[in-house]
Amino acid sequence: MTEEKRHGGSLEVKLLESVEIDVAGRTIKVKGEKGELSRKFSEDFIRLEKEDGKIKITARSKRFPFRKQMAIMGSIAGHIKNMMHGVSEGFSYKLKVVYSHFPMKIEVKDGVVLIDNFLGEKYPRKSLILEGCQVKVKGQDVEVTGINKENVGQTAANLELATKVKNLDVRIFQDGIYITEKAGKPVI
């Protein structure tokens, strides 16, 4: 994977060979075999430079930046790594449909997941699918895939929140859709 090095008031992120990156000011565009992502960072104290197969993140005016600035620079490095991983390999979340009282019917229609008959409700619940995400339903298994880690995670969270049990004892009514795997790692 990529690695990160700290030098005084700067960070360096090593680039993947299978990915093309363009840096223009505080905007980064990443192209890979799965697609293209673009992101503009709003922090005005940073400078992004591409040199020798690395992206260098430095603080503009300070030789040794404050602790909060270094934390933000570390977050930006993490975003860049996630963008490179997304366009080269993609992200995948797996969810499980669980019911014991009323059988749920899940279907994808026009950018929305419809959850029908949740706890015997008359009208279906809806969960939004964010841009660039695909949702596949196979029986009791649901898979959310895409290249943008934030959108894939939020789409999976939307599914989980759409079936949140309210005003009932959650020890008895354990029906819902639950995340079981994030990016290939099981959720415990």
Domains in the chain: ranges and CATH:
4-88 (3.90.930.12), 91-186 (3.90.930.12)
Place of tokens 């639950």: 178
Band (pLDDT 50/70/90 cuts) for residue 108 is very high
Per the CB < 8 A criterion, the answer to whether 96 and 141 are in contact is yes
Above 80 in pLDDT, residue 7? no
Q: What is the pTM of this model?
A: 0.84
Q: Residue type for 140, please?
A: Q
- Cα separation, 138 vs 124, whole angstroms: 19
pLDDT tens readout for residues 47-105:
888 888 888 888 876 566 677 888 888 898 999 999 999 999 999 999 999 888 788 88
Q: What is the 3-state secondary structure (H, E, C) of 10-32?
A: EEEEECCCCCEEEEECCEEEEEC
pLDDT tens readout for residues 110-146:
889 999 888 887 888 899 999 989 999 998 899 999 9
Per the CB < 8 A criterion, the answer to whether 89 and 2 are in contact is no
Q: Sign of torsion, CA 11 16 17 23?
A: negative
**Phi and psi of 72, rounded to 5°?**
-65, -40
pLDDT of residue 61: 62
Q: What is the token pair recorded at 63?
A: 């030789």
pLDDT tens readout for residues 38-48:
999 888 788 88
Q: Within its chain, how far is the Cα of 86 from the centroid?
A: 9
pLDDT of residue 166: 79
